[in-house]
Amino acid sequence: MQIRVENSVVGDLDALVVAIFSDETPVLTTLDNKTRELVERIKALGGATKLMESETVIYGEDGPAKRLLVIGAGKVADFGVAAARNLAGSAARNLRKKGAKKLAFALPTGNLKAESAVQAFAEGIILSTFETGVYRTGENKEEKNLEEVLFVSEDNLKAAIERGVIIGEGANLARRLANEPANQMYPALLAEEAQKVAEQTGLEFHALNKEQLTEGGFKAILAVGQGSIHEPRMIVLKYNGAGEDQPYLGLVGKGVTFDSGGISIKPSEGMGDMKMDMSGGAWVIGIMRILGQLKPKINVLGIVPAAENMPSSTAYRPGDIIGTLEGKTIEVLNTDAEGRIVLADGLTYARKLGATKLVDLATLTGAVVVALGHTATGVFGSDQPFTDLFLTTAQEAGERAWQLPLFPEYREQITSTVGDIVNTGGRSAGSITAATFLKEFTGGVPWIHLDIAGTAYTEGEKPYLAKGSSGQIIRTLVDFVFANC
Ligand code: BES
Ligand code: MN
Ligand code: ZN
């Protein structure tokens, strides 16, 4: 798809999208008389007043496009980057479904900084182009792709639009990896995807295989992966934007390519969704590609401990005591609490490779879905200023994130009598005890844990987002990396 920026509507277009605020007179100087008249008439009739509410008009011979879509942007004061992203995304998605290929957008920016608004528009449009039916064949296949998008905007906003496109495309890569079924996306293949990203964007890449993991003492990830024919990998992408002598920010993403629960097997209903239990890892790979393209002045390590959690005669069992790269021993009470085990080695490895600050992201607990639903990402942190920076960044990026506590009292729930730590603290405070477990492997450096179990995936489709992998919080993480420069 091609994206252009022009000062006026030009070209052979399938649709022109115009957004209007309910409490501001639209400034339509860049549009032709016919469109202006139609927009004003729709406004006079009270159409497109609420956010996302829209009216479609078919132009006659004299129109600049085949269709005009007038969409409500709501009230100026309520218009944030999330609304901007969703508005542009839902308009593009809607029109694409109708077969439109060439679109133009004339969108107001309200009180937002023009750069932030157009970046959000571009992100929303790119996210809306995401293809979910990749395994459909014959007449079930939908060949409905956008070919061209024109922004009616000032030239000086090109860079912000380009940034939005890069972020949108990185998020779509992450979503594609997360949506892949587990027979098409096991640890070795996830490593190949990371390698491709490294080749495309000039990042350093390596992935430790089973022999190398054994040699290196990565006992935790090996235990989780030992029940599967698909051997685990510790995947590493390195971005150096500040010079080799500078410290690294470590991004560690859970890469469980399928979570059956293992011997503590999950109920069959909904088990298929656990193909997305490597969303954290997929997000990390997407973010590393974005960083490779945007080139911030900072060093970032992306680490994905990837394993498949399966029940078999070689699988790890409840009651097993396992070692870790860090040295602590884990008493396994439930093989379904596997994410924290692979992350234990991922976090330790990040520090060994030079990370002095850590962020991990994981579809870690069902409990966070109970607490925050599918709306907000659960945030935990060991260093409040570092965590506060993340929370304000999320707010500015228009993505919901909410902090939960890590009071020392919770540590008692995961004390083991035979080893150092147990891998589940029972039903109460499940997300917090999982985070408390991870903290044991951070070596006291500033660390943030994001539990994305509720937000990585949408169960139903939304006007601006296809059903399945969402890419949520990637945008915030990119901004957060820049905020740490
Ligand atoms: N991958 C799951 C968590 C999950 C649940 C992600 C729902 C997305 C949606 C994780 O590995 C898991 O199974 N967690 C257990 C932990 C429990 C056994 C302590 C859970 O949340 O039930
Ligand atoms: Mn599990
Ligand atoms: Zn899991």
Q: Domain map of the chain by residue range?
A: 2-154, 171-483
pTM value is: 0.97
Which ligand 1 atom is at minimum distance from the Cα of 261?
A: 13
DSSP, res 481 = H
Per-residue model confidence (pLDDT) at position 4: 86
- Give Cα separations from 343 to 93, 259, 340, 354, 397 (angstroms): 36, 14, 5, 17, 26
Substitution candidate for ligand 1 out of 258, 336, 372 with most atoms within 8 A of CB: 336
How many helices, marked H, and strands, marked E, lie in the chain? Answer: 13, 20
Per-residue model confidence (pLDDT) at position 10: 79
Query: Is 400 or 4 the better-scoring residue by pLDDT?
Result: 400
* Residue 435 burial by Cβ neighbours in a 10 Å radius (0-12, 13-18, 19+): buried
Report the 3 state secondary structure along 264-316: CCCCCCCHHHHHHCCHHHHHHHHHHHHHHHHCCCCEEEEEEEEEEECCCCCCC
The answer, yes or no, to whether any atom of ligand 1 lies below 6 A from the CB of 146, is no
The answer, yes or no, to whether any atom of ligand 1 lies below 6 A from the CB of 458, is no
Query: Is 49 or 358 the better-scoring residue by pLDDT?
Result: 358
Cα three-residue angle 394-399-403, rounded to 5 degrees: 60
The rounded Å distance from CA 426 to ligand 3 centre is 16
CA 48 to chain centre: 30
Q: 23-32, 120-129, 246-255: which range is least confident on average?
A: 23-32
The rounded Å distance from CA 8 to ligand 3 centre is 50
- Mean pLDDT, rounded, for 193-205: 98
User: Selecting from 3.40.220.10, 3.40.50.10540, 3.90.1170.10, 3.30.1950.10, what CATH number does the domain 2-154 have?
Assistant: 3.40.220.10
Per-residue model confidence (pLDDT) at position 12: 85
The answer, yes or no, to whether any atom of ligand 1 lies below 6 A from the CB of 336, is yes
The answer, yes or no, to whether any atom of ligand 1 lies below 6 A from the CB of 338, is yes
The third-level CATH classification (topology) of the domain covering 171-483 is: Aminopeptidase (3.40.630)
DSSP, res 62 = T
The rounded Å distance from CA 370 to ligand 2 centre is 16
41 is catalytic: no
Most distant CA pair in the chain, distance:
80
Task: Give the model confidence (pLDDT) of 97-119 as tens digits.
Answer: 999 999 999 999 999 999 999 99
The answer, yes or no, to whether any atom of ligand 1 lies below 6 A from the CB of 377, is no
pLDDT band, residue 25 (cuts 50/70/90):
confident
Query: Is the confidence at residue 481, as pLDDT, over 80?
Result: yes
Q: Which of 340, 357, 439, 475 is catalytic?
A: 340
- 2-154 shares its CATH topology with 171-483: no
C-alpha gyration radius of the chain: 24
Q: How many CB atoms lie within 10 A of CB 416?
A: 16
Q: Look up residue 106 and give its two tokens.
A: 């004339």
The region that residue 158 occupies, defined by phi over 0 for left and psi between -120 and 50 for alpha, beta otherwise, is alpha
Handedness of CA 390, 177, 221, 415 (dihedral sign): positive
Per-residue model confidence (pLDDT) at position 107: 93
**In contact, 262 and 174? CB cutoff 8 Å:** no
CA 135 to chain centre: 22
- Mean pLDDT, rounded, for 432-454: 98
**In contact, 191 and 198? CB cutoff 8 Å:** no
Q: Look up residue 286 and give its two tokens.
A: 């997407």
Q: 21-30, 77-86, 476-485: which range is least confident on average?
A: 21-30
- Mean pLDDT, rounded, for 190-213: 98
Q: For residues 213 and 134, give the distance between their C-alpha atoms in angstroms, rounded to a whole number.
A: 34
Per-residue model confidence (pLDDT) at position 385: 98
Per-residue model confidence (pLDDT) at position 283: 99
Per-residue model confidence (pLDDT) at position 24: 87
Please report which helix (H) or strand (E) contains residue 460, including its range. Answer: none
Per-residue model confidence (pLDDT) at position 418: 97
Task: Give the model confidence (pLDDT) of 341-385 as tens digits.
Answer: 999 999 999 999 999 999 999 999 999 999 999 999 999 999 999
- Mean pLDDT, rounded, for 336-340: 98
Give me the residues paired with residue 235 across strands. 207, 304
**In contact, 248 and 296? CB cutoff 8 Å:** no
Q: For residues 88 and 270, give the distance between their C-alpha atoms in angstroms, rounded to a whole number.
A: 32
36 is catalytic: no
Mean pLDDT of the chain: 96
Query: Is the confidence at residue 8, as pLDDT, over 90?
Result: no
- Mean pLDDT, rounded, for 415-439: 97
- Mean pLDDT, rounded, for 383-395: 98
